[in-house]
Amino acid sequence: MTTWRPTSRTCLVSGAAGFIGSRIAEAMLGHGYEVVGVDNLSTGARENFPADGEFLLGDIRENVPSRAWDVIYHCAASYKDRSEWELDASTNVLGTLNVVREAQRSGAKIVYCQTSLCYGPSPASPVRPTAALDPRGSYAVSKTAGECYIRDSGVPYVSLRLANIYGPRNLSGPVPTFYKRLSEGQPCTVVDSRRDFIYVDDMVWVAVRAATQGHGVYRVSSGTDYPIVDL
């Protein structure tokens, strides 16, 4: 396993006001890092970011803060509207290129929050990191393209191919969608599919380790999937 040794313990988190980014920011502060977060607040909430970190309102499509980073957690992503190809591509591809350029300039390691949707709609279970890629839809395609640019950039990196993450602050995916609709007395549409779910604290534990350990692609999941109809 490759070990990455930080020099000044400075950390940038993109998408820092979102579900995953804000939790990573909290964890890295707890591990003694100076944490700077950047978010355009299109889906995140300013109050999610910890008060003892430094928050910058900004958009990675325009620029990425430039400092002497040790590690950059790239959590920012566009995903809300699958018909918004241009928005997804500009954020998940061009925005990622800006993150890569800053990592190259500063010598930082990138920890990338990738989606397991890169494996397609029906991968064999359990999904292995080496499974064939078959991204479908604007979000998965653009996120996978971003991962490829990071891989080809020459910077030290870890790409975390995440299963469905759930927990406090989660606003997307099956769990919060079903909860919201059921609590409002609305019907739910259930398709014949299975999903692997992992609690956010477990995912963050892996992400923190990735700051100093590992290189390349990792699949982050519970290893067990469940029918959506059972959920």
pLDDT of residue 141: 96
**What is the C-alpha to C-alpha distance for residues 70 and 68, in angstroms, rounded to an integer?**
7
- Is a pLDDT exceeding 60 seen at residue 29? yes
pLDDT tens digits, one per residue of 194-215: 778 889 999 999 999 999 999 9
Q: What's residue 174's pLDDT?
A: 73
Question: H helices of the chain, where?
Answer: 19-30, 85-89, 95-106, 138-152, 174-183, 200-210
Whole-number pLDDT of residue 210 = 97
Rounded to whole angstroms, the Cα distance separating 65 from 86 reads 23
Give the per-residue pLDDT at 220. Answer: 92
* Averaged pLDDT of the chain: 90
Whether 7 shows a pLDDT value over 70: the answer reads: no
pLDDT tens sequence across 128-182: 888 899 999 999 999 999 999 999 999 999 999 998 888 888 777 777 777 888 8
Better pLDDT: 51 or 180 = 51
With a CB cutoff of 8 Å and minimum separation 6, the contacts of 76 are 14, 15, 18, 21, 38, 39, 40, 60, 91, 95
Taking each continuous run of H as one helix and of E as one strand, the counts in the chain are 6, 10
Q: Which percentage of the chain shows pLDDT scores above 70?
A: 97
The pLDDT score that the predictor gives to residue 1 is 56
**Is residue 187 predicted with pLDDT exceeding 80?**
yes
- Would you give the distance in Å from CA 210 to the centre of its chain? 13
Confidence at residue 31, expressed as pLDDT on a 0 to 100 scale: 94
pLDDT of residue 128: 84
